[in-house]
Structure 1
Amino acid sequence: MKIERRYDIDWLRVIAIALLLIYHIAIVFQPWAMLIGFIRSDETSTAIWQPMTMLNVWRIPILFYVSGMGVYFALRKRNNIELLKERIKRILLPFLFGFVAITPLHMFVFQDYYNLGLSYYPHMGHLWFLGNIFIYVLIGLPVFYGIKKGKFSTIISFLERLFKNPFGLLSVNVFFIAEVVLFQPKPFALYAQTWHGFAIGLLAFFFGFLFMNTGKVFWNTVKQWKWFYLGLAIILYTIRLVVFATEGPLFLTVIESNSWIFSIFGFCYQYLNKPSNILSYLSKAAYPVYIIHMVVLYLAAKFILPFHLPALLAFLIITLITFMGCYVLYEFVIRRITFLRPLFGVNNKISMQKSNTKKVVVNKTSQLTS
């Protein structure tokens, strides 16, 4: 049976990680940057942060949704044991390597910039996301097994009927509202290494998996009602921005967050579900870039900030350096050094297959021309 490739989900992962880089760069220009371990610019800017207040309520949850969807695709050709082994290689190994070898590097840059004296400080840093995902997989193994064996067919049938209705789909917000009522996050976007971040990630992860198990029901709904969800998100964001200065009632923020996400799913499903060479490259680069981007970002900030450029100009330059630096490290170091690939979540088997394919093509070409 031919397995359908969902290119829109690949694009979602790439876009979400690109936005994550931009978001982290924007933090450099906020007065509270040092409080969360970022290098801070003397030239701060509320203008740079304004669009980030729209992003920050959905940029991390959408990655958890996509991760849950990824598990669905992985299970179509693997059993639970094979899934666990694959996730150990793809998630746990890069997480542990990053914990001891990557996150200490950007802290070295931070310490050097502020003349704090260099000390080795292994920590999760931005890689907390990977640790959460691996735990979610462990928690979900019995559920994955039950769904694959048809144990939850009644529940799946109910969800199929529910998600055909655009308001039925919005009913998932009940679970997310219960989460914020329980943990009372302040601010809502404080995901990293918090119980709120763990719980909202767990919900998004499992609903992402469940959405895929309803076949095309979920996708047809978000495609058909994408403008409705987008309009609802814009209205709720406007209220949050104008009335509550970006930190509104948690239940409204939850509905806004999922409305953004459902609209994005709908637009991507309609317009981005097609292959391209650019996507093929970017989808493989996104994960390693996520792992290394903080080191490159801190180095760029350390180099550019002493020039005391206007905040917007410095932001644009640091963004350019960060993206280019990540590209260079991925293309000319991680991708080309065999033993590094697994440490950054790059599949060695795929790389070897491509290499062998190229050799075959070259050999056939030389035979034809000789």
Structure 2
Amino acid sequence: MNTTSPPPRVAAPASRLTELDWLRVLAFGLLILYHSGMFYVSWDWHVKSPRLIPALEPWMLWLNPWRMSLLFLISGAATALMAGRADGGGGLIASRSRRLLLPLVFGMTVIVPPQAYLEVVEKLHYAGGYGDFLKLYFQGYHGFCRGDDCLKLPTWNHLWFLPYLWAYTVVVLLATRLDVVRRCLAHPGWRQVVAGGRLLWVPWLVFALLRQHLLERFPSTHDLVHDWYQHSVYFAVFLLGFALYGSRDDRHGAWETARRLRWIALVGFVAVQLLSQRLTSEWGIAHGDAFPEWLLMALRALNAGKQWLPIVAVLGFGRQWLADRDSPWLRWLTLAVFPFYLVHQTVTVIAGHLLAPLHWPLAMEAVALVAITALGCLLAALLAMRVDRLRPWMGLGPRT
């Protein structure tokens, strides 16, 4: 007898792309694992294990250039599908604002503060209690500093994705009210953009130019206002998702082209990644950290390929393996993944802070960290689904 309980019933909306749903779930799952890994690498993060795992860093470097861009592209495609079903742009803007901004407010008020508290406890040896810290947090206290690096409070930490996504969504939905924009999105010339191998090299070229001209001028801030390089990349991939991957009938052929080019994109990504690592390593061994301009330009071009080629590969394999693969589990995960995203980093930070003093074997500790994060995400999603008043604050719509 089968004792496995089915997931709660979730209605299947019309005009869905199951490959898009699967990729969204998998991309956020990858993000959760990535942030668990941040506890064990040498890069700056909110809390740190006293026992680092340097071997994780090369693997995480394979994900760094494209993991967030993939999420923005998926979000752009999902927004186009929603716009195709909506009666009017104004209603969709209001709906998306509720689904993105209410969780942002709730996150900055309830979910994120424990991360900031444990950060100042570990990095600055703050001795006050959590209640004392919250008073400073909501007062906008800026005195938690290491040299010139001060923690800005309140903060949205990992939830920076929400205001960025909201801004891009509003801009695009307002623009699509114009006839000229709608005609542009429907223009058959988009097929020429993705025809042949252009889907591989045209966006790569665009990202290379953005890296060359904006990256050093506008370092990443995640503050929404001054983050112009990141905006140029994330808004570009959001637009690509909206224009090319947000139609059920694949009107511009972008899904099919990605499917056809998936192996080329994957092999190209591996080759570009290995070449970039080899150039960086060999020059560093021979000449130190001072890179000449010609090498920096070459590395920027290669890094642009690392941004785009894996996205094409992921889209292509998603189309090949996940199209029309609907299930109750997928529909449930599609609903649960937003609460997962909201709480996962806070659970990881708290769990890491509490696990480190126990001095468990490192492998056991790492497995426990991932397991606790997964369990915390599951409990948060179930709670959000069952408590009606909590649903909008956790990014869920009304019960259907």
Aligned to 1:124: 156
What is the Cα deviation at residue 347 of structure 1? 1.2
* Aligned partner (choices 244, 257, 269) of residue 233 of structure 1: 269
What is the Cα deviation at residue 177 of structure 1? 1.9
Structure 1 stretch 162-171 or stretch 10-19: which is displaced more? 162-171
* Aligned partner (choices 166, 175, 178) of residue 134 of structure 1: 166
Question: Equivalents in 1 of 2:261, 2:202: separation in Å?
Answer: 15
Question: Equivalents in 2 of 1:147, 1:307: separation in Å?
Answer: 62
Question: Equivalents in 2 of 1:126, 1:147: separation in Å?
Answer: 36
Structure 2 residue runs of 5 or longer lacking an equivalent are 1-12, 138-153, 285-295
Aligned to 1:42: 50
Aligned to 1:272: 322
With normalisation by structure 2, the TM-score equals 0.79
Decide whether the 8 Å contact of 1:162 with 1:169 is kept in 2.
no
Instruction: Find out whether 1:341 has 2:352 as its counterpart.
Output: no
Aligned to 2:215: 184
Question: Equivalents in 1 of 2:31, 2:218: separation in Å?
Answer: 18
What is the Cα deviation at residue 50 of structure 1? 2.1
Instruction: Find out whether 1:167 has 2:198 as its counterpart.
Output: yes
Aligned to 2:239: 206
Instruction: Find out whether 1:329 has 2:384 as its counterpart.
Output: no
Identity rate of aligned residues, in percent? 23
Question: Equivalents in 2 of 1:244, 1:95: separation in Å?
Answer: 39
Instruction: Find out whether 1:29 has 2:61 as its counterpart.
Output: no
Cα offsets for 1:44-67 (capped at 9, x unmatched): 111122211101111100000011
Aligned to 2:114: 105
Question: Equivalents in 1 of 2:57, 2:358: separation in Å?
Answer: 21
Structure 1 pair 196–41 and aligned structure 2 pair: CA distance change class (3 A): same
What is the Cα deviation at residue 289 of structure 1? 0.8
What is the Cα deviation at residue 3 of structure 1? 4.2
Aligned to 1:151: 183
* Aligned partner (choices 287, 297, 300) of residue 250 of structure 1: 300
What is the Cα deviation at residue 325 of structure 1? 1.5
Aligned to 2:89: 80
Question: Equivalents in 1 of 2:262, 2:161: separation in Å?
Answer: 28
Structure 1 pair 168–322 and aligned structure 2 pair: CA distance change class (3 A): closer
Question: Equivalents in 1 of 2:213, 2:356: separation in Å?
Answer: 41
- How many residues align structurally? 343
C-alpha root-mean-square deviation of aligned residues, in Å? 2.5
Q: Secondary structure at the match of 2:37?
A: helix
Decide whether the 8 Å contact of 2:200 with 2:265 is kept in 1.
no
Cα offsets for 1:151-172 (capped at 9, x unmatched): 326x731111221222344212
Q: What is the one-letter code of the residue matched to 1:152?
A: C
Question: Equivalents in 2 of 1:5, 1:260: separation in Å?
Answer: 23
Structure 1 pair 131–340 and aligned structure 2 pair: CA distance change class (3 A): same
Q: Secondary structure at the match of 1:57?
A: coil
Instruction: Find out whether 1:303 has 2:343 as its counterpart.
Output: no
Decide whether the 8 Å contact of 1:103 with 1:295 is kept in 2.
yes
Aligned to 1:362: none
Question: Equivalents in 2 of 1:283, 1:304: separation in Å?
Answer: 30
Structure 1 residue runs of 5 or longer lacking an equivalent are 354-370
Question: Equivalents in 2 of 1:173, 1:197: separation in Å?
Answer: 15
With normalisation by structure 1, the TM-score equals 0.86
Question: Equivalents in 1 of 2:302, 2:221: separation in Å?
Answer: 17
What is the Cα deviation at residue 113 of structure 1? 5.1
Decide whether the 8 Å contact of 1:48 with 1:312 is kept in 2.
no
Q: What is the one-letter code of the residue matched to 1:253?
A: N
Decide whether the 8 Å contact of 1:219 with 1:266 is kept in 2.
yes
Question: Equivalents in 2 of 1:150, 1:23: separation in Å?
Answer: 38
What is the Cα deviation at residue 340 of structure 1? 0.6
Cα offsets for 1:33-88 (capped at 9, x unmatched): 3xx4x111110111122211101111100000011001101111222101111111
Q: What is the one-letter code of the residue matched to 1:6?
A: L
* Aligned partner (choices 59, 80, 84) of residue 67 of structure 2: 59
